[in-house]
Each structure stands twice: as structure tokens, then as C-alpha cells.
Amino acid sequence: MGQSITFHKADQLKAKPDAGQLGFGKYFTDYMFEMDYSAEEGWHDPRIVPYGPISLDPAATIFHYGQEVFEGLKAYRTEDGRILLFRPDKNMERMNQSCARLNIPEIDEKFVIKAIKKLVAVEKDWIPSQSGQSLYIRPFIIGTDPALGVHPSNTYKLLIILSPVGSYFGNSIHPVKIYVEDEFVRAVKGGVGYAKTSGNYAASLKAQTKSEELGFDQVLWLDGVEHKYIEEVGSMNIFFKIEDEVWTPALNGSILPGVTRNSVIGLLKHWGITVKEKKISVRKLFKKAEKQKLLEVFGTGTAAVISPVGFLKWEDKVIKVGNGEIGELSQKLYDTLTGIQTGKSEDQLGWTQEVKIEKEEVKEKAVDKAEEKAEKKPAVTE
């Protein structure tokens, strides 16, 4: 898709939030990316426009039949002022896998990465730079046909919005408490569990609320068939350090194939540590814990990076993992990953992509630049 991205200038820019108050997903930048799909034109009219409400027919597919996919990745600010994306190609590959499952037309992965880079470049002043902070990038696609009746939409909208974020679970990497859910099910083989689509999260809300009522941070899901095998956490994949091996549930069609999961496996193997992707029964895991063989537990995800798990509850059994602090391997993975993401450590595996700011943009603020351009001609091509 050799299309050019037009730019529509905002009349007014927002005040940026206090860097200490970011939280997750509460603030959004001045601009968003938008692109439309129709059967006749394919994906067309890519544009960067002021962040603002979208207007849809109340009969639109998204409101009734949930035809939607999304992604989540981050832009990081390095100490020497560069901007890095972490494996955006993996997110776009997964987005297309989700699209295939949800009957949504394929996107041009390279073009959407280009769009992400352009939007991030425009919004570069929104990338927070304190430790643990980043600019969260949320591309999503929704079906927009104004018609009832269960069938795939003929028209779609792809949007990308940006949110400056701090840490997902609060301010420090304190271990989280998770709870093995044995009643509610998130996904099952043959369903949409491996796709990043809204329905999976809708199905998870009830158990998430229940876990919070019980005093836990997150739910650990079991498989939907036998309610025996460990799948993943709310928005993280899960890893167990058992003696000198690391285990994680194998991808089986109902687990989201996390980019962080894939990266952690890559790093561990690179370090010569045995990683086993396998079916892990919760019973077996608790047996290992009883025998003091379960040394570390951690979740992995773009939002949470590496999140140590301090407590695990299943039925009436509770495991306290380690001494309630982050384990040695978890810490090493956290440091290495965030090191690569923020340009502090060498990127031996070629995982980062730099967002290049055009020459003039280096001298001036992106926003001033945007204003200039917009004054010269109403729509600027890249």
C-alpha cells in the first residue's frame, strides 16, 4: 500500500499530564491515526487527525456482534533522546492473525508500522521518560456496517491512539497476588482465545471483579475443557521457575501468544536456560511448590513487562512464592528487557526499531512542526 498519510492539524493542544500521575490508559495525546476499509477501495484514506470522538451508526457491527481486534505496544524514550519501538512487527503479525479469526480484512503490516512511527513522531513530546514510563500504542479495528443480522461487516475503521503510561500495577514492581479461577472460563480451543479481540476481555471481567473482592490482583485462568491446566493471567502470560528450568504453558489455541512471552523465551534460551513450553496442570504445580521446587513465578506482558507473582491461591491452598520479593531471574529478565527497550542494553537480537524524526523535527517540537506544515497546505503527505 503506497498510500500517503495526510495530516489534519488540531486547533488546540492539550496540557500534558503530570509525569508522576500517569497511571495506565487515562490520558490520550493530541492526535490519532485513522483509516477506513470498504470492499471497493480496500484500506484507504490513512490520516492523522486530532484525537476526538468517533461517530458511528447505532446499528454498527461493533455494537452488536463485536467484530473487533486490537493490539498493544509501546514507544520508549532512550537516555540519549531516541525513540524506540519494541518488536512492532510481532504485534502486526498477531493483528493479522486476529483479523483472520474475526473475518476482518488483512492489514498491510509494514504500512501500519509506518503509520505508528509517523504518529509517534508527531507526538514525540508526549513520550514520558521516567523509569518504567512509556507511550502506550493501541491500534484497533472495528466493523462499522449499519446493519443488523449476524454477518461480517463490509466496512471497517482502523484507529491508533496513544497514551502516556506509568506502570500497569502501580508504582513499584511489587509481587502480585493471583487466584486460580475454577468456575469462570476465559477461552477454549476452537474459540477466539488466541486472538486479541474484545470478547475475550468482556468474558474475563466477572472473574477479575471476583478476584479483587477476594483480595487478589489478578486471575490465573485454567483451560476451558478440563479446568486443570494453566493458561494465562488477565493480561499476561505466565512463567514458573522450577528448580533450574523455566516452564510456561504451551500455545494451544486458547492462550494469547504474547510478544513478551516470545521475547522472554528467546532471552532464556540465549542464556542457556532450559525453557519448557508444555501443558502444566495446577495440581502438579502445587506439588512442586510443596516440595520447595517452585522458585519463581512471573507474568509477562507489554503493559506489565515482568510482573513477579508473590501469592498463588487455588481452592483452599495458598502458595507464597519465594520471600515475597522479586526473584533473581525475574529481576534479570526485567532489567534486560527494559534495558533493550530503553536503549540502555545492547539489542543483540535486533528487537527494537527506531522512530526517526525528520530533520526539521529534530530542531523543533513536533507540534510546532505540525502547525507549520498545516499552515502551508491543509493536508501534508509523508
Ligand X SMILES: Cc1ncc(COP(=O)(O)O)c(C=O)c1O
Contacts to a copy of itself by CB under 8 A: 24-26, 28, 32, 51-59, 62-68, 70, 101-103, 136, 138, 140, 142, 146-152, 159, 161, 163, 168, 183-192, 197-206, 208-209, 224-225, 227, 234-235, 303
Distance of CA 286 to the CA centre of its chain: 29
Q: Which is nearer to a copy of itself, 205 or 349 (CB)?
A: 205
- Minimum distance of a copy of itself from residue 349's CB (angstroms): 28
Residue 140 interacting partner from a copy of itself, ligand X, none (CB closer than 5 to 8 Å by kind):
a copy of itself
Q: Which is nearer to ligand X, 72 or 132 (CB)?
A: 72
- Minimum distance of a copy of itself from residue 137's CB (angstroms): 11
Tell me which amino acid residue 27 is: Y
Residues 6+ apart with CB under 8 A from 372: none
Q: Which is nearer to a copy of itself, 136 or 247 (CB)?
A: 136
- Minimum distance of ligand X from residue 301's CB (angstroms): 3
Residue 146 interacting partner from a copy of itself, ligand X, none (CB closer than 5 to 8 Å by kind):
a copy of itself
The four Cα atoms 265, 270, 274, 280 give a dihedral, to 10 degrees, of 0
Q: Which is nearer to a copy of itself, 203 or 275 (CB)?
A: 203
- Minimum distance of a copy of itself from residue 185's CB (angstroms): 3
Residue 256 interacting partner from ligand X, a copy of itself, none (CB closer than 5 to 8 Å by kind):
ligand X
- Minimum distance of a copy of itself from residue 292's CB (angstroms): 32
Place of cell 495458598: 318
Q: Which helix (DSSP H) or strand (DSSP E) does residue 111 occupy?
A: helix 109-122
Contact 219, 204 (CB under 8 A): yes
- Minimum distance of ligand X from residue 212's CB (angstroms): 17
Q: How far apart are CA 310 and CA 295, in angstroms?
A: 11
Residue 59 interacting partner from a copy of itself, ligand X, none (CB closer than 5 to 8 Å by kind):
a copy of itself
Residue 102 interacting partner from a copy of itself, ligand X, none (CB closer than 5 to 8 Å by kind):
a copy of itself
Q: Residue 330's CB: how many other CB atoms inside 10 A?
A: 27
- Minimum distance of ligand X from residue 232's CB (angstroms): 5
Q: How far apart are CA 108 and CA 85, in angstroms?
A: 18
Residue 243 interacting partner from a copy of itself, ligand X, none (CB closer than 5 to 8 Å by kind):
none
Contact 69, 97 (CB under 8 A): no
Residue 205 interacting partner from ligand X, a copy of itself, none (CB closer than 5 to 8 Å by kind):
a copy of itself
Place of cell 536503549: 343
Residue 132 interacting partner from a copy of itself, ligand X, none (CB closer than 5 to 8 Å by kind):
none
Q: Which is nearer to a copy of itself, 194 or 311 (CB)?
A: 194
Q: How far apart are CA 16 and CA 348, in angstroms?
A: 34
Closest CA to 261 of 247, 242, 244, 282: 247
Tell me which amino acid residue 322 is: G
Tell me which amino acid residue 331 is: Q
- Minimum distance of ligand X from residue 168's CB (angstroms): 10
Q: State the pairing for strand pair 6-7/42-50.
A: parallel
Q: Which is nearer to a copy of itself, 51 or 273 (CB)?
A: 51
Closest CA to 298 of 168, 133, 173: 173
Judged by the rule CB under 6 A, the positions of this chain that interact with ligand X are 72, 232, 235-237, 256, 258-261, 300-302
Q: Which is nearer to ligand X, 48 or 207 (CB)?
A: 207
Residue 199 interacting partner from a copy of itself, ligand X, none (CB closer than 5 to 8 Å by kind):
a copy of itself
Instruction: Please report the DSSP string for 62-94 in residue order.
Output: HHHH--EEE--EEEEE-TTS-EEEE-HHHHHHH
**What's the burial of 363, exposed, middle or buried (CB within 10 Å: 0-12/13-18/19+)?**
exposed
Q: How far apart are CA 256 and CA 295, in angstroms?
A: 25
Q: Which is nearer to a copy of itself, 27 or 86 (CB)?
A: 27
- Minimum distance of a copy of itself from residue 181's CB (angstroms): 9
Q: Which is nearer to ligand X, 256 or 380 (CB)?
A: 256
